Every structure is written in structure tokens, then in C-alpha cells.
Chains A and B, each alone.
Chain A
């Protein structure tokens, strides 16, 4: 046994990343490769009436120009229910309409043509010369406009227990508040990209994807091919945050173009198209009604959520999913519904549902605590659930109360004085805010293959991918844990659909799903090795069950045998192990918990708001790699600071066009926005209900709750309750007292 699990080895792929040798989808230059560039709709609703490609077609280097009048006949991928037990069979897209299906335009930025040329410069120059005429129809630009014109459509995921309406009406202590969150855009640093080529009827694709397996399955359906004929590679992905979970139109368009021009084609979407045709977190409006008894116990919780979706697909942002179980309440109702807007189809963005949902719930909890004159932390501690009342199951492992206590002690919550604006230092007003965080822990099916090789090394393959979370490294740690081999003798390959199918890298599923498969495959390889050893060689005739394997050696009593040496003597190349592992079973509810404490500083003289300090205590099960796990939570907090204070995709109310679709106008946190103090505690309680290592996954949890913690801190500092994200300075300056000299 070694203590590699929970240690902090640096990443096994680190050298490739710091030397520029890690290769992403657009880093694969292929012989005779052509380049694609898109032409995107400038209207949000209507029809293309004419496409004039004559001038563009005559430009130097142009190979072909594809549009709805000139494009391959493709098949729509079927709409499948997600079944975590059979993730290897999943086919999924969020935008079901294929590129160039017809002349209809449903959102600004929808593909109307793509140009393929010998060079990137030629393709771009020609794309600018494609002339498109439209018949424009009025666009629904925002959720607010949709509300005036449509009735919300239920998403079919409503939930209730007790009678929340009656309990609310009869209560004396209650709040009723509505919270809104804007469209947010994933904006991974690596723009979506596809490099595709065909060999006969076989399709090869380098893709920026969070699931090589699902993407492979999806392209196979679109092109009417057996999945065996399609191979996806994504050895490195410039992150995705949910935006790269499922295939978007550019992927099929590039593959079709490569088939038509009979050359490899590379297509990198420009940054402005990260906001239009590859998903986003939709706009939400959430009405929260909370009521308590005289002691501060919740007696009614109502969470009604509406989100915007496209006119082509009904995407539901399940804001109330967390509300069902985080706090104890006998009377509770959650509804989800959608309204249609002329945007591209939304998709999962880091902590889908929970991120906007907990902004509303944890802001409302703060308002409720204030209404009854209770400390907001004490109010949460009083109401935290002791079992999952939504599923009517016990928690597998829930250390939220300990997180509250440890976080509060480290943060110094006891120094908080309750009155808004009551804590000052110099010209700054200090605000303290708290909010719980919460995310479900899920495990999907996974396969893995492990070879113990004659050169004394282990070689691992799995059709999962490392989107930046450290999957390569934790897989190596797992093999090291089971085999005793040091990390430098373990080679891990991921990101190839021809490998044994692995999990999607999303939803915080990957770690919990891949580790059991890798461990099982390692044990399987060791068993095969033991079988070889009792058939021939010095341990011939021994009982295989009595053999041990430790530190890379077979052990029989006092005798040991180097496995590489043994394999070479037997003229064997390797001992092979394979595994298929499934989902967790058992009558328990498995979730991750935590809390964020935030200190903001508001300088009213110059209207400056800063997050000065974040202290978080996170209960996400066993930590596998401490470096990578802390990095995940810290990064999630940074992204959530963006959600709280900067991020919103704006659409022109007159025509539905995005107005800030680039990295200068869509504000995300930069180095200077990093809180000077950030202190993350990982409670590190293994949750063996989920897998043998007790790991739950840690990608999403840090994103949840933080926006509410900031909003609550802002309220404590300024007395202003901002219910509409992001908390931009103009919202704090409204009604601000005039500064006098």
C-alpha cells in the first residue's frame, strides 16, 4: 500500500503543457489540409432569401462554399435520454437542427455558409465576400420580451411535497422575492475547433470535446455510419465548462466539407461565435417564496424558475434541483418552465441549474434570516437537512455542519456585526456574506484497459479525456495505488474514441467514474500476471491466490520476482487487464456540500467593489490529487466571481443580436480580480457509497453558492439587495448618496 491517493504529485502531463507541446484540436496540421471559415446570420429570426457566392467563389484558393442550397444530406441524431449506466451508447446534441438544413434562421450567428480554401487567410477573405439577403422577422431578444408574448411551457420536472402554498399563506414570517440571472457564455480559452479527414468511408476527427465517445457516436449517426467507422481524438482540450459536452453544428459541417473537398479540413470558430452557436447558460427568472415559524424553522419553500430556450429545442435550466434537498422543509414546491427566445440553444454550463438556482435560494435564505432577525449562518445551520427529503433517502455522507463551523472559524464570522454598513476600515465599507454550496455526485459507466508490460511499465488507455482537471494524473495515481509502481513507470493515454469507452468530462462525473474502472483493470492485469507465473517460471505450481503483487514485483512467501523480467523470460509482451464498471447503487442520496464565506470591500467614494477574501470549506469526498482538487475549487470560485460581478451576454432589444460577443466586452475575471486572500479547506471524508476510493468529483461544487455569498456580502456592506446578476457598479450607485466634499 502506498499513500499516493490524496497526495499532491505534479501533473504527469505538465511538461507538455508548459512547453507548448500539448496538442489541442487545431494544433494538428495535416498534409494538404484546407481551412474553413464561416458566414453567420446577421438576423435573429427570418429566412435566407438569396446567397450570392459568385465573387467569393472566384477568390484565390477557394475550394468550395457550402450553404443550405449546396450541402450534404445528413441525418439528425436521435434525441436520447441520458442513461449514466450506458454512457458508451449515448448520442446527444442540444441543438438538434443540423447545419444548413433549410433557409430558416433562428438566431443571430447561426451558420448560413462556410467557405473552404487552401489557407486560413483565403477562406476568411472569401467569407467576407459572400452576400446574403434575408427576410427578417421580429425577434424575441430577451426573456423579458418572451414573457410578454408567450406563456411559460412546463419542463415536466416539477416537484412538490406537503402543501407549500397553504403553508406560505398561513405563515406570518415570510419573504417573496424574484431573482434574475443573465445569459452567460462558457468562453473556454480554446475556441471550438474541428480538424477532420476521411479515408474512404472512415472519418477521423480531432475535436475540442468533453466526450470523445459521445461525440463519436453522434457523428456516426449524423453521417449514417457505424461508430466503428468514426474515430475521435482529443488528447488535450482547452477546457469546456459544459460548452463542449455535446456536438455543435460546426463539427458536422467540417466533416461534411472534408468529405466534399476530399482533403483534411480545419475549422476554428472565431471568438464571437462562442456566444452564438455553441450554447450558453440561459437567462433565468426565479421567484422565491420562503416562510418560517417563530423559531426560524422553514415551513414553506416555493421556487418557481423560468429560463429562456431556443425556438428549436426545449432546454431546461433546473434551478430548483438543489432546493429540493439542501434544507429541511415539510412543504416545498419547485417548478421549471421555459420561454422561447431567438438565441442559439442553451446547454449545460458549469453547475447547470445549481449555479443560478443557488444564487436565488441562498440570497432568499439571507433575506429570510434578515426578516426574522437571525444570523444568516445560524439560520442555515438550523435548517440544514439531515436526510434527502426530496428523494426520501438518507445522505451517504454529509458534513455540511462541520463545513459551516470550520469555515466560520477560519473566516472570523463571529466578528460580523449584523447591521448593513456597520463594518468600516478607512474609506472602505466591509461586507461579510455566507452561502452554502451543493452539487450532486454521480457516476457513469466506464471501461479501461491496463497493460503490465515486459519493460516493467504500466500502460493505461481509456476513452475519457482530461479537460484540464488532472484526469491523466489521477489515473496514473490510481494505477500506482493498486500496483505499487511509481508514477514515472506509468503511461496514460486518454482522449481517443478507439480506446475502451470512458466517462464524459462533465457534471463532476469523470473522477468518480473512471477511477473504479482503472483500478479494476489494474487488478485484472495483475491476476493475469499471476496466472502466467503459476504456469511457468520460478513460481510454477504455486497457488495463484497465494501470490501477492507489490512494488512491481510478484511475491510468493519470501520469494519475489520482478514482473518485467519475468515477462521477458517467458517471451511475453504483457499481462492485460480490462474492466467495465457501472453506476453506484444503494438506497442513499449522494451529494457534495460546502460553504463559501466572502468579504467584500465597497468604497462608496469611488464606487469600487472588490472581493477581498474568500474562505470555503468543501465536503466533496476523498481528494485524489490535492494540487488539482484545490485548483478546481479555486478556479470555480474565480468563474463564480465572474458570474456574480461581471458576466452577461447582452442582446440588442431591437433585433436579438448579441452586442458584446467578444473577450473585451464580455467581462471575465482577470489576474487583477483575483481575491488577495483565498483559503480553501477540503474536508476529505471518503464517500464509499459512490466508489471504492470515496471520491465524488470536484469540478462544479465551488461554482455554486458563491454569487449569493457575494450578493449577501454586498448587502451587508451597502444595504442594497441586488437580485439581478451581475452586481455591476451601476446597480450599487443607483440612489447612492451624493458625495460631498
Chain B
């Protein structure tokens, strides 16, 4: 692993900015982590490793991964894309939901080696040029979270559900479709409001 892609050991001091909550500016080193591009093509493969290309949020990475590495861990540990969360590692909670080629999947249940060449969108990829996705905006507006840990997965599922014509638009259908994403804080009422309000805004925009 190239050390240069990771925040240095002084991160502890630098990362003060992470908890700095001025609405105006995102903390500096988080942005740096986003911009990281991993290129392992010059690194020799270790026994059991395979080299894969992942196109994540528009950025192509070449990563040497062991066969037993799951997509979630590669995104978090290698690409520093920690917005996607680990809540159970068993596909039971939905916190790790992201989009592979436009389809919502539990990234903890998916081996990284099976995603060579895939286009992956994580929560970090929804915001475009500093403008939040309507679903992100609606989650903020409707207080559709408490601790925020399941939020990335909820938002990625919500985007997929709104875009899926097979899923009904009524409240009961949305509740059913979102039931793979547990929110232990219980912000379900506000999440439903956020999803339905974002749906209206997205309709208006298209």
C-alpha cells in the first residue's frame, strides 16, 4: 500500500477540521481523501491477490486485492472512501448500500474481485460540484437521521427506489422497499418524508 495516499500520522491533529462544523467549508483532509486515486499497477501481486479496476464516482482505481476482500472493505480501507458504513458485515442492515452499475447492492456481501471494471457510486459521489443531490438535501431538511451512521445507506437505497419504476410511490410501498435499511435511532418517519419530498423535487427537475 502506498503510504502517500493515506493521511499521515499527524492526522490526529489535522483532523480537528473534521469535527469543525461551520456550515460553510468542508474540512480539508476529507476532501483530500476523496481525491485519492489508487494505482497498484506497478505493485507486484502478492500470493492470492488479483488486480482489478474500479471506477468509483468517476475516478478509476487499479487495486491489488486479496480474493477474500469484500467491496466494502476495499473502498474503506484502500480507497479511503469511508462514507459507506459497515453495520453488520452480513447483509442484514443495509448500512453499506451503494450502487454498482446503477443497481443498489450491499457492498459487504460482494467480493471486490467480482467488480473488475464496474462503475460504482458511493455516497461521496452523489454531490455534484458542491450541489447536494435532492435526496441528500431532503434528508438534511427533514432531519431524516439522528446519529447519521445508517444515512449513507438509506440515501443510496432511497435514490435507487425513486429511480426504480417497479416500486410503488405510495408510503407503504416505500416503507416496504426501504426495509432492508435499518435505522436503530428510529428516524423512519422523517426518512419517509424525505424520500417522498425528494421524489417530488426530482420529478419537477426532469
Contact = CB atoms under 8 A, between A and B. Distances in A.
B3 A31 contact: yes
A279 to B, nearest CB: 15
B205 interface: no
A189 B147 contact: yes
Contact of A467 (B9, B24, B145, B147): B147
Interface stretch (A78-86, A557-565, A664-672): A664-672
Given A467-B147, A671-B191, A28 B11 contact: yes
Contact of B175 (A191, A487, A674): A674
Interface stretch (A220-228, A380-388, A629-637): A629-637
Interface in A4-58: 10-24, 26-33, 35
Nearest to B92: A663
A60 B18 CA distance: 34
B140 A26 contact: no
Nearest to A639: B186
Nearest to B26: A21
Interface string A227-255: 00001010111110100000000000000
Contact of A671 (B15, B23, B83, B175): B175
Interface string A469-499: 1101000100000000001100111111000
Given A121-B66, A494-B19, A671-B192, A239 B146 contact: yes
A516 interface: no
Given A20-B122, A21-B83, A60-B46, A663 B88 contact: yes
A10 B147 contact: no
A676 interface: yes
B82 A493 contact: no
A21 B17 CA distance: 11
Given A493-B21, A631-B187, A19 B123 contact: yes
A204 interface: yes
A20 B97 CA distance: 12
A17 B185 CA distance: 14
Nearest to A240: B147
Interface residues of B, number: 83
Contact of A672 (B90, B126, B176, B185): B176
Contacts of B147: 188-190, 236-239, 467-468
B197 interface: no
B17 to A, nearest CB: 9
B198 to A, nearest CB: 11
Interface string A377-415: 000000000000000000000000000000000000000
* Most central of B6, B8, B26, B148 by chain A CB within 10 Å: B148
Contact of B192 (A189, A495, A639, A674): A674
Contact of A239 (B27, B174, B185, B192): B185
Contacts of A28: 11, 15
A187 interface: yes
Contacts of B152: 20
Contacts of A18: 123, 132, 136-137, 139-140, 145, 151, 155
Interface in A436-483: 457, 467-470, 472, 476
B93 A189 contact: yes
Given A11-B143, A121-B66, A670 B73 contact: no
B158 to A, nearest CB: 11
A120 interface: yes
Given A638-B186, A662-B88, A493 B179 contact: no
A204 B14 CA distance: 13
B80 A29 contact: yes
Nearest to B184: A189
A42 B183 CA distance: 30
Interface in B70-103: 73, 76-77, 80-90, 92-93, 95
A190 B123 contact: no
Contacts of A238: 85, 147-150
Contacts of B87: 189-191, 271, 663
Contacts of B86: 26, 191, 268
Interface string B165-206: 000000110111011111111111111100000000000000
Contacts of A491: 20-22
Contacts of B160: none
Contacts of A264: 9
Interface in A312-360: none
A663 B182 contact: yes
A153 to B, nearest CB: 33
B186 A669 contact: yes
B129 to A, nearest CB: 13
Contacts of A10: 140-141, 143
Contacts of B183: 189, 671
A650 interface: no
Interface string A203-220: 010000000000000000
Given A241-B184, A496-B19, 18 more contacts: A16-B21, A19-B126, A20-B152, A29-B6, A30-B11, A60-B46, A122-B66, A271-B92, A469-B146, A488-B24, A492-B21, A493-B21, A662-B92, A670-B181, A671-B181, A671-B192, A672-B179, A676-B171
29 contacts: A10-B140, A14-B143, A15-B23, A16-B148, A17-B151, A18-B155, A29-B33, A35-B77, A119-B69, A120-B77, A189-B150, A189-B184, A190-B147, A236-B148, A237-B147, A238-B149, A239-B184, A270-B89, A271-B88, A271-B89, A491-B22, A496-B19, A628-B143, A631-B185, A635-B187, A663-B90, A671-B174, A671-B179, A671-B181
Interface of B: 3, 6-9, 11-12, 15-16, 18-24, 26-27, 30, 33, 46-47, 66, 68-69, 73, 76-77, 80-90, 92-93, 95, 122-124, 126-127, 132, 136-137, 139-141, 143, 145-152, 155, 171-172, 174-176, 178-192
Interface of A: 10-24, 26-33, 35, 60, 119-122, 125, 187-191, 197, 199, 204, 231, 233, 235-239, 241, 264, 268, 270-271, 457, 467-470, 472, 476, 487-488, 491-496, 627-628, 631-632, 634-639, 662-664, 668-672, 674, 676, 678
